[in-house]
Structure 1
Amino acid sequence: MIKRELYMRRIRPFIDTDLIKVMTGIRRCGKSVMLELIKQELKESGINPQQFISINFEDLNFAHLQTAKALHDAITKKASEIGGKVYLFFDEIQEVRDWEKCVNSLRVSLDCDIYITGSNARLLSGELATYLGGRYVEFVIYPFSFAEFMELYRSVVPNESMQKCFQKYLLLGGMPYLSNIKYADEPSKQYLQDLFSSVQFKDVMKRNKIRDVDLLERIIAYVMANVGNTFSATSIARFLKSEQHTVAPETILNYIKYCCDAYLFYQVKREDLQGKQILSSNEKYYIADHGIREAVFGGNMKNINLILENMIYLEALRRGYHVTVGKAGDKEIDFVCDKRGEKLYIQVAYLLASDETISREFGAYDTIRDNFPKYVVSLDEFDMSRNGIKHCNIRDFLLMEEWN
């Protein structure tokens, strides 16, 4: 179990406070491990583990607690037996009907510290905002970064070079469980395919009562094929029509939104950097884990430029940036990253193999006049920085302690 310090740094200030700590993210991205790391910190601070009450709602042993009343009664009874302050850890809380009512009631009636995880972005919308508004903090957990992957991969293959680790990461992605199967190719592919099926069935189809499974699969395949490309619901509708499927763009948007709610895809808005406004059409989508794309759809090496973009986008999210795609006149900046008003611009390329490519990637910044850092990242080994624009090898960029 590696100590995911990037997240622990953010969570630590809220440990042992009365705010509810909510950890969300795609299924199997390591949310349960975060609960274990928090328990470890509490134990190290002198808290007796007998004060912990932990329930994983995917465990059938707790199926009888999947209503707000049943869970509330069981926790209240257990807390009275323990006496004093209790620490509640609820894993995959979305399986409990009306869970937010139960959690809010426990928060009010018990001396407790509450931690919950869930695999759906709508966990924190609707009624929950009513019950818990202002009383929770959310942390989105992502699959392993390249740095985390490399740390675990080297425990399986000691002294492996950074380049070899990166090649493996390109194909397998960052789902934590892969280390348990020693990153073996076929078992890893099987695991990622099964994980994808589970997300598609439990978190998208079942949760949203989707009946047209074939349509959902076609839309997901289209988005996977086009990660990092701008497209609209209308362009997907045209594509499906060419395959004899007539679908309204609104239906397509709903299906994609369900996938985003399940943290399978992330939508990135386009921003007009000159007009300072968010553009309403042709967003981009990236996938939560590029290893899932390789296992289900294939072609990561063929589409390496898009996969490198996907990696950089997820890394920016991990580091707490709000990310948009920048439009500056007729040019596009891959990523405009903003953290509390501090900006960073990133252009991603596979290789700067020709003068034309170099001119295009560095030239994207021609009309950007501010003094925020501007990067071009690629797999080239030589530093090609120029005109105040920094060039960096992607592997090194992903491993940098701070982007500045």
Structure 2
Amino acid sequence: MVKYIERAEYLKTLRELKGKHFIKVITGVRRAGKSTLMQLFREEIAQKIDKSRIQSYNFEDPKYNDMTNWREVYDLIDKKLVKGELNYIFLDEVQDIPGFEKLLDGLYINENIDLYVTGSNAYLLSSELATLLTGRAYEINILPFSFKEFAQTYTTPVDNSIKFEHFMRYSAFPQATELMHQNPALVMNYLRSVYESILVKDMLPRKQIYAERSFENVVNYVMDSIGSSLSPNGIARVLASDNKTVDSRTVHSYLKSLCDSFVLYKAERFDIKGKQNLTTQEKYYVVDLGFRNLLLGKEVGQDAGHLLENIIYLELRRRGNEIWVGKIGEREVDFVARDNEGYLTYYQVAYTVRDETVLERELAPFDKIPDHNPKVLITLDPEEVSRRGVRQINAINWLLSH
């Protein structure tokens, strides 16, 4: 029996937004738990009010396939509204409805509606819709399990270091985690089905990705370059040198599609001294390390440092940070993170710094930073110390602390 995990932080956010006149937009990669989260919240509301005031629609359900425009959906919802009461409307994968932008706008202007929607690609918050809903929408981006959530799925005592090895080796998708406990051999097949579903439902319809081999080459290169600075031109050059020709505009389109479907997240560079964003040489991080292991067939140990960096990046996102890669002169700081209150923290990530040369390499960029914002070095070493104004902390302890 696998222990049930409540997505406490996400539920807390939904509770805080309940009844507020925003469209609550729940985004994230497929199978991260968006629909389950919305179901849990819906059931919570249903315990306190008459169920007639709650409507729920999943537009991936075949029974809605005949709905060819937004007006049909609007009329269906409107005729079921309880007049004079606040109605709770839940729309799953609403971007599949033609003209969904008008549907959301039409529902929003009704002050008797508290509206919640989910979507598995960034088209839901495209520039057109973002303009339409300026000041009206609040996005909650859902990720697969954090390490803290993953660790809570174990029903028998297991050392946290072993749990962390599993976290890096298998997957943080909720259903994949359940399979890991039952039969680890099934995890990769599950991840393959999720990945193929993303390709078919989120990427192909919107980007017409037809050069399958070229797409695979780009994806595999990016997955093998987690934590490395990349550009479309650079990727195209490297692939061309290996007789895998693809032009830079196509690479750019592929990268955007992967980010729009939340398979990848992009971290842009930030000039720490100049306090400005830089528009070249971004880094990309994968939403779940299981995808990387699936596509590359690599063991964790071959690139453990960059995989740890990926985990820390995702955790910083979970905690509500805006994240950049820091540039300070010719050196680089892994992450510049700005929290919800506007405070900056600088992070370096290394698997281990027991070698003095590695320790010096990780500390050196901090020495160049002219301000006094917190500086943190995250490693898997057990030691937690402070030196040269830098706090060194253990990654597992940090991941479990929030």
TM over 0.5: yes
Measure, in 2, the Cα distance between the counterparts of 1:270 and 1:17: 35
Aligned to 1:86: 87
Q: Which deviates more from structure 2 when the two are superposed, residues 190-199 or residues 1-10? A: 1-10
Aligned to 2:51: 49
Aligned to 1:359: 360
Letter in 2 for 1:73: D
Partner SS for 1:226: coil
Partner SS for 1:302: helix
User: CA-to-partner distance for each residue in 1:181-239, whole Å, 9 max, x for gaps?
Assistant: 25332111111111111112221122222222221111111111111111221121112
Matched, 1:302 2:332: no
Paired residues of 2:19 and 2:114 also in contact (CA < 8 A): yes
Q: Say which of 54, 64, 67 aligns to 2:66.
A: 64
Letter in 2 for 1:368: I
Provide structure 2 residue ranges, at least 5 long, that are not aligned to the other structure.
Answer: none
Letter in 1 for 2:13: R
Partner SS for 2:335: strand
Q: Which deviates more from structure 2 when the two are superposed, residues 325-334 or residues 209-218? A: 209-218
After superposition, the Cα gap between the structure-2 partners of 1:49 and 1:178, relative to the gap in structure 1 and judged at 3 Å, is farther
Aligned to 2:30: 27
User: CA-to-partner distance for each residue in 1:164-188, whole Å, 9 max, x for gaps?
Assistant: 1111101123111124425332111
Partner SS for 1:352: coil
Measure, in 2, the Cα distance between the counterparts of 1:258 and 1:66: 25
Q: Which deviates more from structure 2 when the two are superposed, residues 272-281 or residues 221-230? A: 272-281
Letter in 2 for 1:313: Y
Aligned to 1:205: 204
Q: List structure 1 runs of 4+ shifted beyond 4 angstroms.
A: none
Q: Which deviates more from structure 2 when the two are superposed, residues 289-298 or residues 331-340? A: 289-298
Q: Which deviates more from structure 2 when the two are superposed, residues 352-361 or residues 304-313? A: 352-361
After superposition, the Cα gap between the structure-2 partners of 1:66 and 1:4, relative to the gap in structure 1 and judged at 3 Å, is farther
Matched, 1:159 2:184: no
Measure, in 2, the Cα distance between the counterparts of 1:108 and 1:383: 53
In the superposition, the TM-score normalised over structure 2's length comes to: 0.93
Paired residues of 2:333 and 2:346 also in contact (CA < 8 A): yes
Paired residues of 1:326 and 1:336 also in contact (CA < 8 A): yes
Aligned to 2:315: 315
Measure, in 2, the Cα distance between the counterparts of 1:41 and 1:334: 40
Paired residues of 2:21 and 2:111 also in contact (CA < 8 A): no
Measured after TM superposition, the shift of residue 2 of structure 1 is: 2.5
Paired residues of 2:214 and 2:245 also in contact (CA < 8 A): no
Letter in 2 for 1:37: L
Measure, in 1, the Cα distance between the counterparts of 2:268 and 2:392: 25
Partner SS for 1:366: helix
Paired residues of 2:30 and 2:120 also in contact (CA < 8 A): yes
Measure, in 2, the Cα distance between the counterparts of 1:224 and 1:69: 42
After superposition, the Cα gap between the structure-2 partners of 1:66 and 1:141, relative to the gap in structure 1 and judged at 3 Å, is farther
Paired residues of 1:66 and 1:95 also in contact (CA < 8 A): no
Measured after TM superposition, the shift of residue 9 of structure 1 is: 2.9
Measure, in 1, the Cα distance between the counterparts of 2:149 and 2:46: 24
Aligned to 1:218: 217
Measure, in 2, the Cα distance between the counterparts of 1:78 and 1:65: 17
Letter in 1 for 2:159: S
Partner SS for 2:301: coil
Aligned to 1:177: 175
Aligned to 2:337: 337
Supply the RMSD in Å over aligned alpha carbons: 1.9
Measure, in 2, the Cα distance between the counterparts of 1:319 and 1:357: 28
Measure, in 2, the Cα distance between the counterparts of 1:268 and 1:132: 25
Partner SS for 2:240: helix
Measure, in 2, the Cα distance between the counterparts of 1:192 and 1:47: 38
Partner SS for 2:327: strand
After superposition, the Cα gap between the structure-2 partners of 1:380 and 1:129, relative to the gap in structure 1 and judged at 3 Å, is closer
Measure, in 2, the Cα distance between the counterparts of 1:161 and 1:182: 16
Partner SS for 2:152: helix
Measure, in 2, the Cα distance between the counterparts of 1:79 and 1:303: 54
Partner SS for 2:324: strand
Aligned to 1:372: 373
Letter in 1 for 2:40: L
User: CA-to-partner distance for each residue in 1:49-82, whole Å, 9 max, x for gaps?
Assistant: 33211111111122223521221122122326x8
Paired residues of 1:101 and 1:131 also in contact (CA < 8 A): no
Measured after TM superposition, the shift of residue 370 of structure 1 is: 2.3
Partner SS for 1:144: coil
Partner SS for 2:269: strand
Paired residues of 1:351 and 1:378 also in contact (CA < 8 A): yes
Aligned to 1:264: 263
Aligned to 1:168: 166
